[in-house]
Amino acid sequence: MNTKATGYRLKSVDVPAVWGRTLKSLVTLVESNYTPTLVIQQLLKQGGIDALRNFTPETSPRMMPFHPGVKSPRKQDIEQARETFLSRYGEGLAAPDENHGYPPVTVADYAHAYRTGSTTPAEVAERLIKRLQSQSADINAIINFNEQHIRLQAQESARRLKENATRSPLEGVPVAVKDELDALPYATSVGTQIYGSDHSASDDATVVARLRDAGALIIGKANMQEIGIGVTGANPHFGVCRNPYDTDYHTGGSSSGSAAATASGLCPIAIAADGGGSVRIPAAFCGQVGLKATWARISEHGAAPLCWSLAHIGPIAATVDDTALAYLLMAGPDEQDPWTQSQPPVHLHDYFNDDLHGLKVGVYHPWFQHASEEIVDACQNGLAALKAQGALIKDAHINFLEEQRVAHVVSISTEMMNAVQAAYREDRTRFALDTRLNLGLSRHFTAHDYIQAQRVRQLAMNEFATAFKDVDVIATPTTGIVAPKINSKALPDGESNITDLSAIMRFVTPANLTGLPAITVPCGYTQSGLPIGLQLMGRAWEEHTLLRLARIVEGQFKRVRPMVYTDLLND
């Protein structure tokens, strides 16, 4: 790749992976107050800190990526779009074409099965409990569930169905919750042995409450990478989460269990969270759809406060339709999260319109091609699907991607260190080794580094605002590599693999830094059968456009049934 000719400077970080004794020694070195400053600075330099420290952006710091003053469709169009979507869901969406491969069990399938009496929520609950009792041996997606609570919810849904008082298409449908969000009657451990050990949550997180109020059957807490600080899905406390497409491979993280749960059929929808791709990465690795909405579109109330300026709650689902339904129910203002109060109305305007004439899809080709050949080829096919429906594929350009990468690293690690500093100071040995390495290094970022990162955030927001004057969405692969193989030598303590981490996160972090919405949708598989995702980024508050385009991409590809899958409606 001729980076000088294109101006493309985003680096592929090349640092040897470490685990076992080597990782322990490195952690000791980083945590020691006696380690020479030059040694620490050399480690930071390997990660690219000089790109930030030697940069002079002509922007003021932007501490939160909020996007005010956005024009919305007319109120009557918004209401009509919502009613149309829910009506079509209530009637049952069209059956999938057999040419598109195995059809995952969807929310619409549950609604149809309950409506026709082919099964009941109680029967689904018993099948689910039986599967939850065994799933830790293969995929390890759900780390905490309560049989009595599952049965009670199923009984309540059955009563409402009998009384024709269903609350939404989600009535009696299983939904998993990432262990980063509060959900009764469970504790919230955030993937650690530190938090949540002494008590359960006192209330549901807002998004959990909204889905529960819509009739969802909350099945339990989903596995995750400790405090959300990694992207493989490994967890030494609860065990590694394994990919349903091949259990020798990672799910991606940090929302590992959420993606594995939907991919394996435990639920069609799971709640996840994304500070640096943690919705989109595991969704892509597990062949699912994952939506990171605009910053402050979905309430953070009841989620562990880990990275305030980067965090986004979002759904992972088996299909785009289910993702759209979850988004419609989860999003919107929440009086308990002030940042959500100033958003435009949530809507799915034009969602079922397959005619893409007039829509422009931007591609920054050097960035798009900075991935494995199989990924690039599959994502090119995704673009072809959009073009076939009338979309115009157009060149785009984004400057300062390397500076954005480092700004995200500094921002998320600094904010996470601040969030957990009390527990870290009390007994840091209770954290996993790779977590301690990341937190230990973050102590050496300076106030200047953090402010520089926020200046780059504003610069990045300006760059994408300029790009979105010419295009409606920007397409990239979701990840630079597919799911990596689980290193059995590194279990259970985990490993630090910065090379893989940087490749996995290459395309996802700008959306976190800028607060712009992004979605991943399956667009193919490698020759070995691992899923590939296409990412679409959009303007602030235009999730409806991303969902509309993702639905078209999804409809053009033949899906493959995962190695580990349970059909709770029939099995």
Tell me whether residue 264 is one of the annotated catalytic residues: no
Residue 61 forms part of a structural domain: no
What is the identity of the amino acid at 37? T
Which two tokens mark 123? Answer: 């029967």
DSSP strands (E only) in 114-230: 142-144, 174-178, 217-222
Residue 125 forms part of a structural domain: yes
Residue 284 forms part of a structural domain: yes
Residue 504 forms part of a structural domain: yes
Q: What is the pLDDT of residue 90?
A: 64
Q: Are 43 and 441 in contact (CB under 8 A)?
A: yes
Residue 358 forms part of a structural domain: yes
CA distances from residue 179 to 92, 205, 302, 331, 451 in whole angstroms, order as listed? 31, 11, 11, 20, 31
CA distances from residue 220 to 83, 199, 257 in whole angstroms, order as listed? 30, 16, 11
Give the Cα separation of 162 and 44 in Å (integer).
61
Q: What is the CATH number of the domain that holds 221?
A: 3.90.1300.10
Contacts of 119 (CB under 8 A, 6+ apart): 113, 569
Tell me whether residue 278 is one of the annotated catalytic residues: yes
358: left (phi over 0), alpha (psi -120 to 50) or beta: left
The single residue of 189, 254, 256, 309 carrying the catalytic annotation is: 254
Taking the CA atoms of residue 249, residue 124, residue 570 and residue 285 in that order, the dihedral angle to the nearest 10 degrees is: -20
Q: Are 566 and 130 in contact (CB under 8 A)?
A: no
Q: What is the pLDDT of residue 5?
A: 36
- Below-70 pLDDT ranges, the chain: 1-6, 69, 71, 90-100
The single residue of 278, 299, 309, 413 carrying the catalytic annotation is: 278
* pLDDT tens digit sequence for 279-329: 999 999 999 999 999 999 999 999 999 999 999 999 999 999 999 999 999
Residue 177 forms part of a structural domain: yes
Phi, psi torsion values for 448, nearest 5 degrees: -60, -40
Cis peptide before 492 (omega within 30 of 0): yes
Q: What is the CA radius of gyration of the chain?
A: 22
How many structural domains comprise the chain?
1
Residue 91 forms part of a structural domain: yes
Give the Cα separation of 202 and 194 in Å (integer).
18
Residue 416 forms part of a structural domain: no
Q: Give the Cβ contact number of residue 6 at 10 Å.
A: 13
Phi, psi torsion values for 457, nearest 5 degrees: -55, -50
Give the Cα separation of 469 and 310 in Å (integer).
24
Give the Cα separation of 129 and 136 in Å (integer).
12
Q: Are 393 and 365 in contact (CB under 8 A)?
A: no
DSSP strands (E only) in 233-371: 242-243, 246-250, 269-274, 289-292, 312-317, 360-363
Which two tokens mark 259? Answer: 């993606």
Which two tokens mark 77? Answer: 């169009």
Q: What is the pLDDT of residue 6?
A: 46
The single residue of 178, 221, 299, 413 carrying the catalytic annotation is: 178
Q: Are 517 and 550 in contact (CB under 8 A)?
A: no
Regarding beta strands 246-250 and 217-222, do their DSSP bridges make them parallel or antiparallel, or are they unpaired? unpaired
3-class SS at 312? strand
Q: Are 474 and 536 in contact (CB under 8 A)?
A: yes
* Domain membership of residue 505 as a residue range: 75-95+104-400+460-554
